[in-house]
Chain A
Amino acid sequence: MKKKAAVIVGASHAGVQAALSLRQSGWQDGIVLFSAEADYPYHRPPLSKAFLAGEKDEEQILLRAPALYAEQGIDLRLGEPVEAVDPAAGTVTSRSGTEPYSTLLLATGSRARRLNAAGSELEGIFTLRTLDDSRRLKEALAAAGHVVIVGGGFIGLEFASTSAKLGKQTTVLEALPTLLSRSLPPAMGDFLRAYHESKGVRFRFGAQVAGFEGEGGRLRGVRLADGETIAADIALVGIGGEADLELARSLGLALSAGGIEVDAYGRTSAPGIYAMGDVAGFHNAFATAPMRLESVQNAVDQAKVAAAHICGADAGLTAVPWFWTDQYDLKVQMAGIGRRDATEILRGDPASGAFTLLQLVDGRLVAAHSVNRAADHMISRRLIADGTLIDAAAAADIETPLAKATAGQAAAAPAGR
């Protein structure tokens, strides 16, 4: 009889952090960390940027040294997807057999949504999620002249900046009339559009892909619903991610916002089963509704909280959500969760290439979107966490440090909690 262990399914940012945090929190039993991928765990953000552009190699994007896992008593099973969970027996099944668990952590992440269009099987059409995807895309990009990106989201725009930097003729197809309108205020989308255009990227808004056209099995163009075909040697489909819910569904776990429903400790609806990272649906204290957050920060912070809770701590998730995107020489950083009903304050001049768009609700900062304003971003995280009342006039003055643009006493709780 094998000793029961904490079994973690998924070894990206969330799964690896959960394993390390379990040890830091005093977990004495075994830890088995399953990964469907064959590679040692790596940072995902560089896959669409520095790795793809050849600025960093595979060793430079490792999350941790390969030797660390064994040293920490973490049994890392690479290239070994978990095929089934038997909650009654308390076991998971993979190709090497069954593994008993005392606690199960689901960090299965998300996967790239695919486009169901004619010609999707042609060679030269990519999605970007894993290191393996990025390796293949990198090779294809080097040989391509015309690059088409379906979807003007973060992955699409990051890839567009890499593609344009490499001198490729780059076209972004976006179904909506503006960029990133679901996640960012229009001013941010407009700024990014203009910046990309200044680097030679072309945009087609309101574009619907009717199908992919090829020759000899290879992609040659992307056909739009209006009949036009745009020449393409390669196409990246970046139309969002969806949570990998296969195991969760087989377990009958409650779902929320397209993910596995969890509470502030990462507990799912089933005893002894936690979920964290991209796959988790959660009502964050800084959001007005349950949501999934696909970000490194959320993966790391949810993993830490869950690991600590498994080891007996009683602190729920309180971290302010944040994420970033690097495009060209722009560092775009988002703190908090943007809201449509917010009052917007522009801090700095977008034409200067460095500014912050603040969003206030009831006089309190709920979100800050910064371009090349790292200090504003970092201060905003604290102001959002504390529910600080903001002096709007002072905040709009870029000469006034944001930390000094406060008004009155800090509120008891952030808006939306």
Chain B
Amino acid sequence: MSESVTIFFETHDGARIEVAARPGSSVMEAAVIGNVGGIEAECGGSCICATCHVYCDHVTDGVLGEMSPGEDDMLDLAAAERRPTSRLSCQIKVSADLERAVFIIPEAQF
């Protein structure tokens, strides 16, 4: 079992929550298991509800993995504004490359 990866979630009011994420799980799952509010994940990671939206402003280019056309479509319809750094956290796999990455939680998921 590989070691956990430390990632951060930044809430809308600027607070940072540290989470020990398991490699191979998704960033969404890390948020849920880490008890981070504001990641709803109604569909449980099937990429069909757009309620695990995050902004990846502070994440190095190239470590997040490719966005699928389905994710791209869903992001257009997320509750909070879509930005160039928008992703669905259920589609981002945790790896050592994400060590100390910060994911910003939008104001709304519905």
Contacts and interface: CB of A to CB of B under 8 A. Distances in A.
Interface of A: 43, 45-46, 50, 56, 59-65, 67-68, 71, 296-297, 300, 324, 326, 331, 333, 372, 374-375, 377-379
A375 B76 contact: yes
Interface string B11-52: 000000000001001100100111100000011111110100
Interface of B: 22, 25-26, 29, 32-35, 42-48, 50, 69-70, 73-74, 76-77
B29 A324 contact: no
Contact of B42 (A56, A61, A296, A326): A296
B35 to A, nearest CB: 4
Given A60-B25, A62-B32, A67-B35, A331 B73 contact: no
B43 A296 contact: yes
A96 B98 CA distance: 46
Contacts of B33: 59-60, 62, 65
A374 B43 contact: no
7 contacts: A62-B32, A65-B34, A65-B35, A67-B35, A324-B46, A374-B69, A375-B74
Contact of A71 (B29, B35, B76): B35
Given A45-B46, A300-B42, 17 more contacts: A43-B44, A43-B45, A45-B43, A45-B44, A59-B22, A60-B33, A63-B32, A65-B33, A68-B35, A296-B42, A324-B46, A331-B70, A374-B73, A375-B76, A377-B48, A378-B50, A378-B73
A374 B74 contact: yes
Chain B contact residues, majority secondary structure: loop
Contacts of B46: 45, 324, 326, 331
B48 A374 contact: yes
A61 B73 contact: no
Contact of B48 (A65, A68, A324): A324
A331 B45 CA distance: 12
A300 B110 CA distance: 12
Contacts of B26: 60
B40 to A, nearest CB: 9
A333 B32 CA distance: 24
Given A60-B25, A65-B32, A71-B35, A331 B47 contact: yes
Given A62-B33, A65-B35, A324-B48, A375 B77 contact: yes
A43 B43 CA distance: 8
A407 B82 CA distance: 27
Contacts of A375: 73-74, 76-77
Contacts of B35: 64-65, 67-68, 71
Contacts of B69: 374
Contacts of B70: 331, 372, 374
A46 B44 contact: yes
Nearest to A378: B77
A372 B69 CA distance: 9
Contacts of B22: 59
A368 to B, nearest CB: 13
A304 to B, nearest CB: 9
- Top 6 A-B pairs ranked by shortest CB distance? A43-B44, A65-B35, A375-B73, A378-B77, A374-B73, A374-B70
A378 B49 CA distance: 9
A60 B48 contact: no
A50 B29 CA distance: 14
A68 B32 CA distance: 10
A149 B58 CA distance: 48
A377 B77 CA distance: 10
B44 A378 contact: no
Contacts of A68: 35
A313 to B, nearest CB: 15
Contacts of A71: 35
Contacts of B44: 43, 45-46, 61, 63, 296
A144 B4 CA distance: 35
Nearest to A325: B46
A1 B66 CA distance: 58
A65 B28 CA distance: 12
A60 B32 CA distance: 9
Contacts of A297: 42
A65 B35 CA distance: 5
